[in-house]
Amino acid sequence: MPDAQELESYIRRKFAENVGLTESELFAEDLTLAALITRSERMTNSVDLMEAFARTSNGLRKDFGLRVRLPALSLDTPVSKVLAVFMGEVTNPERKSA
């Protein structure tokens, strides 16, 4: 089982890949979800945003057997908060996939 640092690194990388921005673009400025949609050429609406997070969640299940539910967050939420929720989910032993 990977440690928390490896999982965080994986989630950061997958967020960036799935939204079509670099990790530094995403996290250095700690973009809000609204800013992220505006900045990304790949995304135009909340369907695209949820799909990007869902793909990250599905990657965690496929690669590590970990279940992550998507949080309901407003568009003024910074991406660091989404990362924190994902980390809370993957480090919660009850969320481990059967």
Residues that bind another protein (CB under 8 A): 45-47, 50-52, 54-55, 57-58, 61, 67-72, 74
Instruction: Find the shortest distance in angstroms from Cβ 66 to another protein.
Output: 12
Closest separation between CB of residue 28 and another protein, Å? Answer: 26
- Cβ burial of 53 (10 Å; 0-12, 13-18, 19+) is buried
**Min dist. Cβ of residue 43 to another protein (A):** 11
Tokens 């921005």 belong to residue: 21
Contact 40, 33 (CB under 8 A): no
